[in-house]
Amino acid sequence: MTWIDLTAGDRDRMRRVLDLFNEQGTLDEMGLGSLRDALSDTLFPGTSYIHTRLRYVLFIPWIYQRLEHRRTKAADVARAARRAEIDLIGPLEESPDPEGIIGVRARGALARLPSSVYWSALTRWGIFIGEQSQGWYHAHFDTLVDGRGATGRADDPGVVWSREPHWHPRLPEPPGGFPWEASFALTKEEADFLRGRLEERCAGTLLAWLARKGSDAPAEQIWGDPAALSAPAAMRDDLELARRFSLHVEGMPLLYNLIVAEHRREILDEEEDEASIERFRAGLAEWAAREAAEDYRFEPDALWELVARRGRRLPLPQRTFIETWSGRIAELAADDVADDTRLRTLIADRELRLKGPRARLANRNRLMDWSPGVGVGRMDFRWVRVRQLLTDLHRGLAA
């Protein structure tokens, strides 16, 4: 990537692309990230793998509202907001439950502020109204503050705003001690507000369902969560598609790592690669047995329909790659997967197509910096993070 100085919106979009490198499974080597993200966004819209705690979606507007009240100038708002977000780290550290603080180690050197990390949630969930980027908000800060007028908060359904607000009119007030005192514990009012946002703006998704029907102790795996399994049929279908896809492609990075380990042994003659080869052969055999034991064969057409429904682009090479993998896996016995020539060629060609001369199978330097197990693991579609957000929400609802 090359950094280009474009508009604030362009910078925000680039930051979201860079965030993907923190997503679990992004180093999939096989170019599956866009499909993983399409499923993740279908199940849990507005979330990200770099989200930590739910109350950040309230901290951020509270910080900006204080700057609006002070009539901070647009030229100074980014710097002032940054200072306020970094200053928030200290009070959160002193709270009873400090797990999930963003920037606790970096402090003043923090590159990605919570506001940047959570801005997509603020717009997707309708907390910041208008779905504009954070850069746009900073650039128009003076106009927005001046145009807000003297209208009060819409605490009564009958109140009519004379000018359209840019923060949700029912955003709860910050606690009295904020920002000098802060914790991740949601009040009941705050949790009710956030559940309402999810149910309204994410209606028909598993996230909205779990906001209403979930608990403060979600299951370790999303496909084992009782509330998720009791969701309406359409949501369960999306979840089952995600589960089946994640299992079906789990063998790709295992086979890729096996091929790389064997290639390293041939080229570099490293003894430790023997252990890696045995490890990946065993892992691939175990995966192939689980895949063969499934009640039905994975058919990619359902995934293509979901991608089209979400308006995503599906590159033909990506589609062909997965369809070829699916067709060949269906023809093989579990014990034959590791040594199948067609599958090995498919995986090797895919890396070469994606990386060109930087492919490990074509570049000795890249081969030397290989870490065994790169990209290996089951896709969880951000559940490890969403699980914490839902825990925070339902603890607040029970407060």
Dump the DSSP string for 129-194. Answer: TT---HHHHHHTHHHHHHHTTT-----STT---SS--SB-TTPPPPPTTTTTS--SPPPHHHHHHH
Q: Are 174 and 73 in the same domain? A: yes
Q: Are 178 and 263 in the same domain? A: no
Domain membership of residue 79 as a residue range: 55-149+168-185
The whole model's pTM is what? 0.88
Q: Are 100 and 178 in the same domain? A: yes
Position 216 in a domain: no
Residue 27: what pLDDT? Answer: 54
pLDDT in tens, 348-374: 999 999 999 999 999 999 998 888 887
Q: Are 71 and 181 in the same domain? A: yes
Q: Are 359 and 279 in the same domain? A: yes
Greater pLDDT, 366 or 11: 366
Last residue of a domain, one of 133, 160, 185: 185
Confidence of residue 324 (pLDDT cuts 50, 70, 90): very high
Residue 158: what pLDDT? Answer: 42
Confidence of residue 272 (pLDDT cuts 50, 70, 90): confident
Residue 6: what pLDDT? Answer: 43
Q: Are 256 and 180 in the same domain? A: no
Residue 225: what pLDDT? Answer: 97
Residue 3: what pLDDT? Answer: 44
pLDDT in tens, 215-270: 999 999 999 999 999 999 999 999 999 999 999 999 999 999 999 999 999 988 77
Q: Is the dihedral of CA 329, 331, 335, 337 positive or negative?
A: negative
Q: Are 59 and 181 in the same domain? A: yes
Q: Are 179 and 297 in the same domain? A: no
Residue 237: what pLDDT? Answer: 97
Confidence of residue 164 (pLDDT cuts 50, 70, 90): low
Position 237 in a domain: no
Range from 4-18, 60-74, 148-162 that averages highest in pLDDT:
60-74
Confidence of residue 2 (pLDDT cuts 50, 70, 90): very low
Residue 373: what pLDDT? Answer: 84
pLDDT, average across residues 305-309: 95
Position 238 in a domain: no
Checking if the pLDDT of 149 tops 70, the result is no
Residue 119: what pLDDT? Answer: 97
181 Cβ neighbours under 8 A, 6+ residues apart: 91, 175
Confidence of residue 147 (pLDDT cuts 50, 70, 90): confident
How far CA 142 is from CA of 68, 74, 125, 161, in Å, comes to: 9, 5, 24, 19
Q: Provide the percentage of residues in the chain whose pLDDT is more than 70.
A: 89
pLDDT in tens, 335-347: 999 999 999 999 9
User: Which DSSP symbol is given to 108?
Assistant: G
pLDDT in tens, 172-186: 999 999 999 999 999
Residue 163: what pLDDT? Answer: 56
- How many domains does one find in the chain? 2
Position 155 in a domain: no
Position 244 in a domain: no
d(CA 358, CA 379) in angstroms, rounded, equals 25
Position 46 in a domain: no
Residue 151: what pLDDT? Answer: 41
Q: Are 352 and 259 in the same domain? A: yes
Position 157 in a domain: no
On whether the CB atoms of residues 89 and 101 are closer than 8 A, the answer is yes
